[in-house]
């Protein structure tokens, strides 16, 4: 599939260039460009930092249009990565092999092939069945960045994908990058969302990357005890503080389960309407997904935002609104609220309808989680001086627990 020409404005050449793969709407890209912003802040104008995203590519042109709207100096290259040579990426970013400081990206979770780019005999020709993880390895191998950051769903580390995961780590190790991996909970880094993602980070010099220590702690689906010396998880209500929103078309939960959804208390889901709880006895115990009719709890972080939710998949806001008939209905989260839960800047612009926006944000990396990993990498690569108060604050400050817009 041929790619379209790259588009860009003139970038700042004094900053270190970054290649972004599977960029989507730009969650990791924002983290790259805003790594110098103080933790848990999203000012309308980013703090001047060491990096610039030189080129970003993605299969979805609409998501890439969103990225370009917010990062106008980044060259964008829409198209299938399997049909995009590394040389084309380098050319679009005005780069040569070894120029890039970083390669970043989160390959979509796709079926993994049993053979691919990590096999030496495969590197001389393209395997049409290669997985997107293999494409990431290919770009790292051929662009030779100083370091890389790969983000993916936690399921990549599960036993089901153990073989592919080991092959991925082996391939990156063979390139000399000594990959280190860890599953991180976004809420532990100030994101008001209980989203788990695995990060793999490697350095060209082979020095092992050290993941940042969590700055926050609190309960989650799998945690009942936590370090109370850390800041508490940022709640949904704290994230929405000071945010003024307007009703959006189609935000009310109507239809077959509209009345039931409105009766569910905050923090509860369809289980409220089983024989074990105080609602109607409408559903069998554990017969649905957890997110079915799920309401946000204002005193807790949100559950993971879904990229393609059905009409009755939450989380929905804890407040009800009346429809035209005067009946109480649950409402969907509004776009400014989604941005806050993803720790994106309030002035971030999105292209598309409501479903498009949900998909773009649901597929993105929460900016603050990406910033935490990238700040640690920036410090360890020596791009900031830990002895300098202002730079050290950008890497390790945890003084604020609520987004500053």
Catalytic annotation on 109? yes
φ/ψ (deg, to 5) at 232: -70, 155
How far is 51 from 35, CA to CA, in rounded Å? 8
Closest alpha carbon to 142 in 200, 201, 83, 99: 99
| Torsion angles phi and psi, residue 162, rounded to 5 | -60, -40
Neighbours of 246 (CB within 10 A): 6
Q: From CA 334, how far away is CA 247, in angstroms rounded?
A: 8
**Cα first-last separation, the chain:** 41
Q: What is the DSSP string of 20-83?
A: EES-TT-HHHHHHHTTTSPTTB--SSPPP-SEEEEEEEES-HHHHHHHHHH-TTSEEEES-GGG
By the 8 A CB rule, do 335 and 357 touch? yes
Collapse the DSSP code of 339 into the 3-class scheme (helix H, G, I; strand E, B; otherwise coil) and give the result: helix
Distance CA 119, CA 128 (A): 14
- CA 196 to CA 47: how far, in whole Å? 27
Give the whole-angstrom CA distance, residue 92 versus residue 363.
Answer: 25
Q: Which position among 109, 237, 307, 335 bears the catalytic label?
A: 109
**How is 249-264 classified by DSSP, letter by letter?**
TT-B--GGGHHHHHHS
Q: What is the DSSP string of 199-267?
A: EEEEETT-PPP-PPPPSEE---SS-S---TTSEEPPPHHHHHTT------TT-B--GGGHHHHHHSPTT
Positions marked catalytic: 109
């Amino acid at each position: 599939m041929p790619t379209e020409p790259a588009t860009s404005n003139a970038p700042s050449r004094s900053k270190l260039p970054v290649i972004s793969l599977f960029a989507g709407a730009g969650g990791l890209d924002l983290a790259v460009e805003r790594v110098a912003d103080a933790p848990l802040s999203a000012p309308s104008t980013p703090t001047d930092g060491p990096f610039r995203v030189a080129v970003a590519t993605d299969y979805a042109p609409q998501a890439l249009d969103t990225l370009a709207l917010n990062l106008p100096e980044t060259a964008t290259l829409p198209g299938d990565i399997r049909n995009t040579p590394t040389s084309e990426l380098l050319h679009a970013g005005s780069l040569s092999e070894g120029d890039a400081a970083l390669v970043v990206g989160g390959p979509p979770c796709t079926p993994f092939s049993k053979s691919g780019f990590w096999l030496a005999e495969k590197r001389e020709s393209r395997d049409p069945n290669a997985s997107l993880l293999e494409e990431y390895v290919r770009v790292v191998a051929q662009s030779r960045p100083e370091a890389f950051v790969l983000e993916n769903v936690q399921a990549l580390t599960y036993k089901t994908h153990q073989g592919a995961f080991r092959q991925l780590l082996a391939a990156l190790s063979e390139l000399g990058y000594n990959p280190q991996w860890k599953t991180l909970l976004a809420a532990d880094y100030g994101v008001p969302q209980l989203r788990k993602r695995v990060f793999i980070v490697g350095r060209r010099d082979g020095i092992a990357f050290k993941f940042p220590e969590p700055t926050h702690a609190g309960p989650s689906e799998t945690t009942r005890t936590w370090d109370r010396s850390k800041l508490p998880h940022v709640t949904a209500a704290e994230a929405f503080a000071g945010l003024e929103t307007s009703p959006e078309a189609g935000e009310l939960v109507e239809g077959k389960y509209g009345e039931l959804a409105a009766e569910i208390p905050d923090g509860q889901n369809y289980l409220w309407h089983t024989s074990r709880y105080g609602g109607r006895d409408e559903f069998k115990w554990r017969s649905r997904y957890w997110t079915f009719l799920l309401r946000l709890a204002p005193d807790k972080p949100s559950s993971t935002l879904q990229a393609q939710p059905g009409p009755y998949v939450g989380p929905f806001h804890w407040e009800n609104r009346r429809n035209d008939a005067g009946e109480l209905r649950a409402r969907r989260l509004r776009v400014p609220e989604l941005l806050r839960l993803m720790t994106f800047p309030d002035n971030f612009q999105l292209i598309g309808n409501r479903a498009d926006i949900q998909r773009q944000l649901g597929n993105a990396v929460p900016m603050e989680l990406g910033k935490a990993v990238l700040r640690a990498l920036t410090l360890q690569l020596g791009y900031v001086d830990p002895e300098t108060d202002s730079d050290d604050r950008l890497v390790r400050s945890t003084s604020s627990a609520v987004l500053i817009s």
